[in-house]
Structure 1
Amino acid sequence: MSPVPVPDLPGVGRRENLRDRIRDALRAAIISGKLEPGVVYSAPALAAQLGVSPTPVREAMLDLVKGGLVVPQPNKGFRVTELSEQDLDDVAAVRLLIEPPTVRDVVAVIPAEDLPELRRMAQAIVDAVECGDLVAYIEADHVFHLTLLGYRGNRYLVDVVADLRSKTRLLGLTPLLRSGRLIRSAAEHHELLDLVEARDADGAELLMRRHIGHVRGLWAGGAEERP
């Protein structure tokens, strides 16, 4: 299988930890389906799209190899891994076991003074949708949810959820964006913070269950939410 031209990807800019920025951008592109499952992409082609040199791209892709998102193809590049429907069901099932009860637990411990920053993170998700930038949307969503779970004080739990989220595929995002339904979903992050601010642990847990249902159902390309 030969490497193929890559889709337009946003530049990652010049930041202190360029490798991490590239890894996050590529991970988001894979999850959103911008980098397609089963397709081989070369590091030089990806680097050209991102506006960086090939070396940090190769390093970032090797990080993604460890996470199972891509597989190296000697002398060609990296192939994006494919997940079966059963794989996606299993990922969603484990997330449902972990994330809703964890959100319930953190509602009581999130300091009121942290809410403005969490609101900023939630708004970054909305802003990305309004700009039609799915890669930025995935990145902002990733940061928001892991930050929220981090209040549980268990870094192993956060690492597990980060890995599970990386294995998710949201191939239905583009039609949702075009239909305007993704902006309503993005607004759920502010709704979740409303529940946190009201210290409504039951409501926050229920909203997280619905949110993950979106991921496995509508967002993954299905016709409706899945349990």
Structure 2
Amino acid sequence: MAQPKVRTLQRKVLRDTVYESLVSMLMSGSLAPETPLSIDGLAAELGVSPTPVREALVHMERTGLVTRAPLRGYRVAPPLTPDQIGQLCDTRLILEPGALILAFKRVDELGPALAKAHTKHEKSAKAVAGIVPDKTTMNAYRDYMDADWAFHNTIFRFTDNVYLQNTADQLPAHLHRLRQSVRRGINDSELAVSEHAAVLAAVEAHDLETARQALYDHISNVKDRSLRDESDPAA
């Protein structure tokens, strides 16, 4: 009698595993923007049946990571438009300063964890300073993106709020699309490190209002830099 529930759970776990694999492929650059996606081809590559791939792509379509056209199938979503960039950054401006308020309930633990994340971000930023991502620098590029997000995700983790954390889990792939959409790429790494440092200093001083403002200013600056790069053909 319980078997149908077990099969349903196994199917859901497999779909989620396929989804995570596809997102990783997108973030690694192996699935570039507007790349056509073959369900059968992806199924063969991942060693699964077409069904969980199809279900994962349906979920990715809902989140905007892929698009689907009648008779043409799925393809990786194109680069973000300026309006989408603005919406993504505005979402972060609403979520992250609020998350920081909750995380401050554990500020004595948050400070050291954020400092550790910041050290990794600084190191990865030095590795990519002044480079334009290509095949030879892709590992350094991914490391930088991971370290950049890890700093922000540390704040979400210390909220102890599963709903915020689940929402935060959706952001890295969209932030990857943001990086793909702007011409400067990761050339703002020094600015980002400096802005993270301002957040960290305020957290270590247990100054919530200054930390919240520094985080808000950082995300606002990311938005401004991204939109400026998108509109400046010489960037």
Match of 2:223 in 1: 216
2:86 to 86, 89, 94: 89
Counterpart of 2:36 in structure 1: which amino acid?
Answer: V
Match of 1:182 in 2: 189
C-alpha distance 88-176 of structure 1, shift in aligned 2 (>3 A) = closer
Query: How far apart are the structure 2 equivalents of 1:217 and 1:163?
Result: 22
C-alpha distance 198-65 of structure 1, shift in aligned 2 (>3 A) = same
How much is the aligned-residue C-alpha RMSD, in angstroms? 3.9
DSSP 3-state at the match of 1:38: coil
Moved more, 34-43 or 206-215: 34-43
Kept in 1, the 8 Å contact 2:120–2:147? The answer is yes
DSSP 3-state at the match of 1:131: helix
Q: Which has the higher helix share?
A: 2
- How do 1:1-227 residues align onto structure 2 when only pairs under 5 Å count? 22=21, 25-29=24-28, 36-40=32-36, 54-55=45-46, 62=57, 64=60, 67-71=63-67, 79-82=75-78, 83-112=80-109, 115-132=111-128, 133-168=140-175, 169-171=178-180, 175=184, 177-178=186-187, 181-219=188-226, 221-222=229-230
Instruction: Provide, for residues 44-67 of structure 1, a one-character-per-residue CA deviation record: whole Å limited to 9, x for no partner.
Output: x99xxxxxx921799797475564
C-alpha distance 110-56 of structure 1, shift in aligned 2 (>3 A) = farther
- Bigger CA radius of gyration: 2
Give the structure-1-normalised TM-score: 0.64
Kept in 1, the 8 Å contact 2:93–2:216? The answer is yes
Counterpart of 1:198 in structure 2: which amino acid?
Answer: A
Q: How far is 1:128 from its partner? A: 2.0
C-alpha distance 157-183 of structure 1, shift in aligned 2 (>3 A) = same
Query: How far apart are the structure 1 equivalents of 2:47 and 2:194?
Result: 34
Gaps of 5+ in 1: 1-17, 47-52
Counterpart of 1:28 in structure 2: which amino acid?
Answer: M
Give the structure-2-normalised TM-score: 0.63
Counterpart of 1:87 in structure 2: which amino acid?
Answer: Q
Gaps of 5+ in 2: 1-16, 129-139
Query: How far apart are the structure 1 equivalents of 2:101 and 2:125?
Result: 27
Q: How far is 1:36 from its partner? A: 4.2
Counterpart of 2:165 in structure 1: which amino acid?
Answer: V
